[in-house]
Amino acid sequence: MVKEAVEKISPFVGLLVLGIFLLLALSTIRISIFGEVEPEKHIYFEIVFLLLLAVVGELAVIYTKQPSVMILMILGLLMSPSFLQLSWDFLHSLNLPFNIPSSPPDILRLEAIIQVFAQLGAVILLFKVGMHNKIEKIFAFDNLMVALAGVILPFAVGYLYAGFSGGNFAYSMFVAAALTATSVGVTVAILKEFNLLNKRFAEIIIGAAVLDDILGLLVLSIVINITGSGAEASIIMPLLTTLITAIAFLFGSVMAGKYFLNYLDRKELSPRRFLLVLAFVLFYAYLAEYIKLSAIVGAFMAGIILNSSRHHHEIEEKTYGLELLFMPIFFISLGMLMDVNALRLFLIPIITLSILALLTKVIGCGGAALMAKLKPLEAAIVGFGMAPRGEVALIVAAIGLSAGVITTPEYSVIASMALLTTLVTPPIIQALINKMPVEGAA
């Protein structure tokens, strides 16, 4: 009798416990979105939210057949504070019959933590790309031609446009510097998705982007010194210092990396040795960031060095989990940086500057790629592949804003251009890739 009674009661107890848990979970989610939670606790909710957003992105990729990079950036845009505020204002204007919280959802509050995750995503991405490249392919003459064309033409056009549109000298210089930038992370992710990293046009994009980073850094050094002090004599020393530091890092990292490889390849890749590999990659990223060459360049160089290791494939497999965790957050964060209000207030300058930004890279880099004897379709992919400005141009704009040489509206125009070019290029690149003849086809 007792046993039968317990068996009858047990399902109800189970349902009751489940119901209490669901109420607790829903209440926690509501408070986490609209209420106050200690930052050290809220970070767990933010990471869970970003990972679930990445899952939604992967499902959207399956059904829309669009590149995951673009989908993740759009999801990031939909989660941006400016878009949520705009959406909330619209909902309140509808006078709906039920109550809506006065403020929009405040989901991602710890921006510094999210940015760290995003930066790790960029580092892991470029490290994995480096694992597919060899050092001699980076400093090829074709890459240098594409990189030079991708700096000179955008700088000249950016400076002239900003000057003719009424911008002062400082703003014109920062617009020009921002247009020289290249954020190759988005392009590389698309090429990786289509298994095209071993193609010559992909190698040119990657090699030219690394050289472009170096040249862009030199340009930024000149711009900061000119706009900051106005003394031409102050340009020479920072320029020489930057150039010497960049060359010393690029070639010195390869030489030092050979000693690390000799040690690594003596034995099998144990967990301890794999941790040393991760420390090696992150140290190179840190060193490059410290000398203001960009962490992704350091990670890329580490990948190139480890490309020669006998544990190459094992390292690829073991770092896949890191790629899966951090990369989606990187692309979501790029979308979140978009300011919808800036798009609305300065629409014409932003669209004009974005078109110029695309054309200068397509004409400059694409033209140089044609001179390197690539096919027209491949040259177009190189041009559009070098077009995203992304976080690199955002850094240029942020430096100008923090130095007080450009205003907040001017910063918004440059930042919106950077993110708009990053957002519109993935579908163009995918369309060009889809037009490429299938290998082995008659």
Burial class (CB in 10 A: 0-12, 13-18, 19+), 422: buried
Average pLDDT, the chain: 80
Tell me how crowded residue 265 is: count the other CB atoms within 10 A of its CB.
14
Return the minimum-mean-pLDDT range out of 220-224, 319-323, 328-332, 340-344. 220-224
CA distance 72 to 90: 24
Mean pLDDT of 4-19: 68
pLDDT at 161: 92
Residues in contact with 107: Cβ distance below 8 Å, sequence separation at least 6, in sequence order: 32, 33, 45, 46, 49, 79
Give residue-wise pLDDT tens across range 67-108: 677 788 788 888 888 888 888 888 877 777 767 777 777 777
- Residue 196 contacts residue 433 (beta carbons within 8 Å): yes
Domains of the chain and any CATH numbers: 133-319+338-434 (1.20.1530.20)
pLDDT at 364: 92
Q: Does position 283 have pLDDT exceeding 90, yes or no? A: yes
- Residue 365 contacts residue 180 (beta carbons within 8 Å): no
R_g (Cα) of the chain, nearest Å = 25
Give residue-wise pLDDT tens across range 118-173: 788 878 887 887 787 676 667 778 888 998 998 899 999 999 998 888 888 888 88
